[in-house]
């Protein structure tokens, strides 16, 4: 594996994102919606860095299953979603790869009549987007590599790593 982003770099960037998001949503009704399961570590740190009152919710969105490194059919489960009608919504995801997950989440949540919907991704994979949208906020741009750590996994492993690493072919 190759180390791409160190733990202290992640912590600094998440704190900066929290400040930026707090300034934007000060005095507004914010709900942060995380896309499970990869977002868990990022979400935990980011919601603590956002210093304005906010609600938290999660949705299940997945296109990678098992020991695959290529996205499959995207499934989205909104059963755990809190009421967002009239509230500002910030969708949080671990990685913006093709953009299909984020685009589908935005569309699904807009049907619930929020005041606004914005997006944040920890990582943006360069040169992979298949959609026109881009995250409103992001942590880091990364090369086209399969990455693990800080919540991202390969076959449900490596989520616990406090940094981001790229898997080499030999690791797969």
**pLDDT for 68:** 53
- 168 versus 4: the higher-pLDDT residue is 4
**pLDDT for 71:** 55
H or E, element range at 47: helix 40-49
**pLDDT for 18:** 98
Domain count, the chain: 1
Q: Give pLDDT tens digits for 88-117.
A: 999 999 999 999 989 999 999 999 999 999
Tell me how many helices (H) and strands (E) the chain has: 3, 9
**Residue 40 lies in domain:** 2-171
Q: Give pLDDT tens digits for 44-87.
A: 999 999 999 999 999 987 665 555 555 556 677 777 789 999 99
Pick the catalytic residue from 94, 97, 153, 157. Answer: 97
With a pLDDT cut of 90, the percent of the chain lying above it is 76
CA 89 to chain centre: 13
pLDDT band at 127 (very low <50, low <70, confident <90, very high): confident
> Does residue 29 have an active-site annotation?
no
129 C-beta neighbours (distance < 10 Å), count: 17
**pLDDT for 145:** 92
**pLDDT for 111:** 92
CA distances (Å), origin 153, targets 37, 124, 156: 9, 16, 5
- 152 versus 75: the higher-pLDDT residue is 152
**pLDDT for 37:** 83
The C-alpha atoms of residue 90 and residue 92 are separated, in whole angstroms, by: 6
Tokens of 88: 């500002």
The C-alpha atoms of residue 60 and residue 82 are separated, in whole angstroms, by: 13
What's the CATH code of the domain at 166? 3.40.50.2020
**pLDDT for 171:** 72
Q: Give pLDDT tens digits for 6-23.
A: 999 999 999 999 999 999
Asked whether residue 170 carries a pLDDT value surpassing 70, the answer given is yes
- Evaluate if pTM is beyond 0.85: yes
H or E, element range at 119: strand 116-125
**pLDDT for 36:** 85
């Amino acid at each position: 594996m190759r180390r791409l982003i160190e733990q202290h770099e992640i912590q600094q960037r998440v704190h900066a994102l929290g400040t930026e998001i707090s300034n934007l949503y000060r005095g507004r009704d914010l709900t942060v919606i995380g896309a499970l399961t990869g977002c868990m570590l990022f979400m935990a740190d980011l919601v603590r860095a956002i210093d304005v009152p906010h609600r938290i919710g999660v949705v299940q969105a997945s296109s990678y299953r098992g020991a695959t490194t290529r996205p499959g059919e995207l499934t989205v489960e909104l059963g755990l979603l809190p009421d967002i009608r009239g509230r500002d919504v910030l969708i949080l995801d671990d990685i913006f790869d093709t953009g299909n997950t984020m685009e589908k989440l935005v569309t699904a949540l807009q049907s619930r009549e929020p005041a606004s919907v914005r997006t944040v991704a920890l990582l943006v994979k360069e040169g992979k987007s298949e959609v026109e949208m881009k995250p409103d906020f992001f942590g880091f741009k990364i090369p086209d590599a399969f990455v693990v750590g800080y919540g991202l996994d390969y076959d449900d492993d490596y989520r616990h790593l406090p940094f981001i690493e790229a898997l080499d072919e030999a690791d797969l």
